[in-house]
């Protein structure tokens, strides 16, 4: 039974990872625009900073003191558009995603003058970060794509595990 469940979870993420990786093989523009469909990488990152500010930073701002001293985790960072926005507010930003395009995203973020981040690939079931090590976790329009309740539950458990006491979570 356990391997059957593992296969279901693995099959769920295979479609996403293949599509994302195939887009990266086509063209850098295709990869980055797949996450936002702006048609322009610069517009994608401007829109990402806007989305981060409006949908994540604004709602949590009353509850998070001194963000410039905090570590935040972006669960499902995609092309890094919102992670780039988070880098402007937080001391350290960790991006976790199921795809294998960390190097491509890192190069783009570095080209934009950002370097206070670390990108990790995960297995669609866990978050590869130490327990009680993150001040805030956010995820923007990612959970709507999760087909399996087991994955959803695993991620929620993982969020609680990695958050420091009194840490914040924002799932949009």
Q: What are phi and psi of 136, to 5 degrees?
A: -150, 140
Averaged pLDDT, groups of 10, the chain, 172 residues long: 54 63 66 74 90 94 92 94 94 93 94 97 88 95 78 90 94 88
The stretches of the chain forming alpha helices (DSSP H) are 2-26, 28-34, 41-51, 58-60, 81-87, 102-111, 149-162
Report the domain count for the chain: 1
128: CATH: 3.40.50.150
Q: What is the pTM of this model?
A: 0.86
Note down the domain range covering 105: 2-171
Please state, in angstroms and rounded to a whole number, the distance separating the CA atoms of residues 136 and 44.
23
pLDDT at 1: 46
Q: Which of 91, 172, 105, 102 shows the shortest CA–CA distance to 134?
A: 91
The CA-atom distances, in angstroms, between 161 and each of 57, 74, 117 are 22, 15, 20
């Amino acid at each position: 039974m356990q391997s059957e469940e593992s296969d279901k979870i693995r099959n769920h993420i295979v479609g996403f990872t293949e599509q994302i990786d195939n887009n990266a093989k086509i063209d850098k523009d295709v990869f980055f625009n797949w996450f936002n469909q702006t048609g322009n990488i610069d517009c994608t990152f401007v829109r990402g900073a806007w989305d981060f500010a409006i949908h994540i930073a604004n709602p949590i701002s009353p509850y998070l003191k001194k963000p410039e001293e905090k570590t935040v985790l972006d669960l499902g960072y995609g092309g890094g558009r919102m992670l780039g926005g988070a880098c402007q507010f937080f001391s350290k930003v960790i991006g976790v995603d199921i795809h294998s395009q960390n190097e491509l995203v890192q190069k783009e973020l570095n080209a934009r003058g950002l370097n206070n981040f670390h990108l990790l690939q995960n297995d669609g079931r866990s978050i590869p970060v130490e327990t009680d090590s993150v001040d805030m976790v956010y995820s923007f329009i990612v959970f709507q794509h999760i087909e399996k309740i087991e994955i959803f539950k695993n991620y929620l458990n993982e969020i609680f595990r990695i958050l420091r006491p009194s840490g914040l979570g924002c799932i949009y």
